[in-house]
Amino acid sequence: MTRFFGPLRASSAAALVGIAIPVLMTGCTKSMTFPTASVMPSYNDSPIQQTAGQFRPIVFVAEVRDNRPNSVAGAVGNVTFEASGEFRQFIKSDLEGRLSSAGVPLARSRSDAQAQSNVNRQVVTSIRSTSYGGATALLHKTVAGINLLVKVVDENGRPVFAQTYFGSASKYPALASAKQSGDMMAQAIRQATDKAMRDSEFKAAIGL
């Protein structure tokens, strides 16, 4: 026997809507997790002798500064992504690894650099802006981007170089996990630091 059901009561419909809407609208926040830097730096532990006609400073990479108003990197759908301490450490480690691989003598600290040579340089990197996002987790690709300001300061505290480098990465579909977002942002960081390492003026400022 076929049974027919009447229209849903207003009170029941309201209850269902009241349940459904929070499920659809509720978002969450995730912190990006970053991979290990591909190249680990090698630090200099002995004095560097300067010879006539040679410019060979020892270099110290300072802690990365964050000039953004907050730690939010972007969002995919209703998932917000933050990038903070681990983010800054990855940038520092990536840049140190690149400099070390290029043969730049690195100091562990500013005081070590000053003790090992009277010709030293400090590399100060600042995060100017970041972007990460996709309209939905299913239909759109992820786009990650970063603007890094790289400065070089001499042994007297005077700036001798400053330039902003932009790095980006994209992938389809949108990536909404903490690890995937960190991997994507790491690609953008590597592109930005790679541009710095290919900049002849930056290289000259650090003795390459």
pLDDT tens per residue, range 117-154: 888 999 999 999 999 987 555 557 889 999 999 999 99
CB 155 within 8 A of CB 115: no
| CA angle in degrees (0–180, nearest 5) for 62-68-73 | 105
CB 165 within 8 A of CB 127: no
pTM score, whole prediction? 0.81
CATH code of domain 28-33+56-205: 3.40.50.10610
Q: What is the pLDDT of residue 51?
A: 65
- Region 84-112 average pLDDT: 94
Q: What is the pLDDT of residue 142?
A: 85
Q: What is the pLDDT of residue 136?
A: 54
- The residue assigned the tokens 């419909």 is 13
